Amino acid sequence: MAEDLLQPPVQDSVPLPPVAQPASDRPDAHTAKFDRQLRLWAKSGQQALEEAHVLVVGANASAASTLKNLVLPNVGQFTIIDPETVTEADIGANFFLDPSSLGQPRAEQVVRFLLELNGDVKGHALVQPLSTLTDLSPYTLVLAVDVESPAELLALSDAAWDKHIPLIKVDSAGFYAALRTQVNEVTIVETHPESIVDLRLSHPFPALVAHAHSFDYAAMDSAQHSHVPAVVILVKALEQWKLAHDGKVPTGSTERKEFMDGVARQKRQSDEENFDEAVTLFRRAGTRPGIPSEIEALFSDPACENITASTPVFWLLLHAVRAFVSHPSNPSRLLPLSGALPDMKASSSGYVALQTLYKHKAREDLALVRALVADTLERVGLDRDSVGSDEIETFVKHAAWLKVVRGRSLRMEHEACALKGQVGALLASASFQQPPDASLFIYTALRAASLFTAEHARSPDRDDAPALYALAERLVREWSEGEDLEGMGVEEGGWTEGLRKVCAEVARAPPGTTLPQTSALLGGLVAQEAIKLITRQYGPLDRVCVWDGIRSGTGVLRP
């Protein structure tokens, strides 16, 4: 039998071992969806927003517009408490209602339409009077929008103040509005200054001085000379200046100009941009003091001094940073270095070498602060690792720009208005603007409307304009007691007529009467302040912001 010469069947495929796929550089769906706001307040701010639960008192157009601007960026939860049903006037002013909402509970209808904007947000409606709400503990922030009862508003603000829950009060009347934040204490690490660069020009660390001395201008050709980093130019020039001025850096406009002119004269050619950069850099940051006075004040704050296991993390970290300043290994007695370095004209190798110096120094400072934080936590009976490494790093990087806001409660404002003694200055300043700033009048008229409502159990109407003016005038005269208004250039007839006109407008469109354009603008302003308080970033409003829709402008007061 003949031998079979056919080859074995050829395999169509051969199994291969799995190969690890390279990690994708593309952001995940969540990051891509909220990319724009992550650039504003980073992951920490977004996480705080998504863990927040906002209580909103009232479901009118201003409240709905504000919530729209919180729902879209993905606030975690919101609850609206409002006992009212939808009227035709509501439908005409509120974009988050439609004809089918007529006669339905207003809170439920607004929640229904708002949740259509973002399915990841949870919304709740409480169809009940504000007086029945007894517990604020579930809430991160309270928004009190056009609350009709002054007594209920004060009770709400007292409860929020006692629980250290931020509250934003919003009042509107036609084209006028005012918003005011009530915060017991807010500590802010990421204040988002224009720059967190600290170049240590006046107090250079040893490695930076040694690096600057390694640059020998005499041995450089023209190309090398035109690429000396601006920081190196300044450090060398400042060291020479200090040798000739008893170790002191230039102070005052005359010395600063003399120093900058000296730097500019070191140019070999007129087009050496690095020396021009050095002059600009010195003008912006050359004479920064050792420790900002605001931070020195926080170091002396009792909250920083008297720490315990219940002390907030902000003050524990600040206590450790204060220890860093006085630590033996920090002879300059300066804050830890941020490590940030601006772009500048230099060779790639020269810039990288300089950047490496700053980063290395920043890492050294951070390591010492971390050790001091661990010691601080252990001393008060907390676990040495109870504060996250990233949180410490962020705090250290922003140590020169920290901010603490301590406000006044609404009750304090009502019992002792801080405008007393400032009326003359406010009216005199307002008169120089065209048209005159009516912020004081608007604030006073809204306060008078609240007094009217408390006295008559109803909001003022058009016929009540004279009575409303009488209340407002009494407030202004009470706050200006002892001031010589005429001596400050404030005419009696001028300010009384201005106040009368504003009161007439408030009476024509009584408090709580919302116009779509006013509500839309208020929604943006209030949501912006709400996000600041929730994320604890940027600088929250610590005064009253007044909107004048007739003048199309805003003003601020500190009552």
Do both 281 and 299 map to the same domain? no
pLDDT tens across 391-431, in order?
999 999 999 999 999 999 999 999 999 999 999 999 998 88
Q: DSSP string spanning 277-289?
A: HHHHHHHHHTT--
Can you tell me the distance from the alpha carbon of 237 to that of 259, in angstroms, rounded to the nearest whole number?
Answer: 8
Alpha helices (runs of H) in 336-438, residue ranges in sequence order: 348-379, 389-397, 410-415, 423-431
Question: Has residue 10 been placed in a domain?
Answer: no
Amino acid making up residue 21? Q
What is the sign of the dihedral through the CA atoms of 309, 314, 319 and 323? positive
Question: Has residue 337 been placed in a domain?
Answer: yes
Close Cβ partners of 248 (under 8 Å, ≥ 6 residues apart) = 242
Do both 71 and 171 map to the same domain? yes
Q: Tell me the backbone φ, ψ of residue 172, rounded to 5 degrees.
A: -140, 150
Q: How far is CA 149 from the centre of its chain?
A: 30
Question: Has residue 197 been placed in a domain?
Answer: no
Range of weakest confidence among 182-191, 286-295, 376-385, 448-457:
286-295
The answer to whether 285 touches 201, Cβ cutoff 8 Å, is yes
Do both 401 and 416 map to the same domain? no
Q: Of 236, 261, 285, which one is at a domain's C-terminal end?
A: 285
Q: Tell me the backbone φ, ψ of residue 407, rounded to 5 degrees.
A: -105, -170
Question: Has residue 24 been placed in a domain?
Answer: no
Can you tell me the distance from the alpha carbon of 370 to that of 374, in angstroms, rounded to the nearest whole number?
Answer: 6
Query: What pLDDT is stored for residue 6 in this prediction?
Result: 47
Close Cβ partners of 516 (under 8 Å, ≥ 6 residues apart) = 61, 93, 95
pLDDT tens across 316-329, in order?
999 999 999 999 99
Domain tally, the chain: 4
Do both 83 and 43 map to the same domain? yes
pLDDT at residue 223 tops 90: yes
- The average pLDDT across 258-285 equals 92
Range of weakest confidence among 64-73, 215-224, 482-491:
482-491
Do both 35 and 180 map to the same domain? yes
Domain that holds residue 256: 206-285
Mean pLDDT, all residues of the chain: 92
Do both 154 and 136 map to the same domain? yes
pLDDT tens across 117-159, in order?
999 999 999 999 999 999 999 999 999 999 999 999 999 999 9
Query: What pLDDT is stored for residue 374 in this prediction?
Result: 97
Task: Give 3's pLDDT tier (boundaries 50, 70, 90).
Answer: very low
Question: Has residue 193 been placed in a domain?
Answer: no
Do both 135 and 168 map to the same domain? yes
Query: What pLDDT is stored for residue 195 in this prediction?
Result: 85
Do both 358 and 419 map to the same domain? no
Query: What pLDDT is stored for residue 511 in this prediction?
Result: 72
pLDDT at residue 9 tops 80: no
Tokens read off for 90? 């509501």
pLDDT tens across 155-178, in order?
999 999 999 999 999 999 999 999
Question: Has residue 111 been placed in a domain?
Answer: yes
pLDDT at residue 513 tops 80: no
pLDDT tens across 85-94, in order?
999 989 989 9
Query: What pLDDT is stored for residue 284 in this prediction?
Result: 80
pTM of the model: 0.88
Do both 147 and 68 map to the same domain? yes
Which candidate, 341, 344, 349, places its Cα nearest to that of 233? Answer: 344
Query: What pLDDT is stored for residue 15 in this prediction?
Result: 58
Do both 62 and 163 map to the same domain? yes
pLDDT tens across 31-44, in order?
888 888 898 998 99
Tokens 């509005």 found at: 177
Do both 177 and 274 map to the same domain? no
Do both 258 and 326 map to the same domain? no
Question: Has residue 11 been placed in a domain?
Answer: no
Which candidate, 545, 550, 555, places its Cα nearest to that of 171? Answer: 545
pLDDT tens across 497-511, in order?
999 999 999 999 877
Query: What pLDDT is stored for residue 356 in this prediction?
Result: 97
Residue 547's domain is classified under what CATH number? 3.40.50.720
Beta strand 141-145 with 53-57: parallel, antiparallel or unpaired? Answer: parallel
Can you tell me the distance from the alpha carbon of 270 to that of 264, in angstroms, rounded to the nearest whole number?
Answer: 9
Query: What pLDDT is stored for residue 33 in this prediction?
Result: 82
Question: Has residue 442 been placed in a domain?
Answer: yes
Range of weakest confidence among 261-265, 343-347, 376-380, 433-437:
433-437
Query: What pLDDT is stored for residue 516 in this prediction?
Result: 87
Close Cβ partners of 361 (under 8 Å, ≥ 6 residues apart) = 205, 207, 208, 337, 339
Query: What pLDDT is stored for residue 16 in this prediction?
Result: 56
Query: What pLDDT is stored for residue 1 in this prediction?
Result: 45
Direct distance between the N- and C-terminal alpha carbons of the chain, in angstroms, rounded to an integer: 114
Beta strand 167-173 with 176-182: parallel, antiparallel or unpaired? Answer: antiparallel
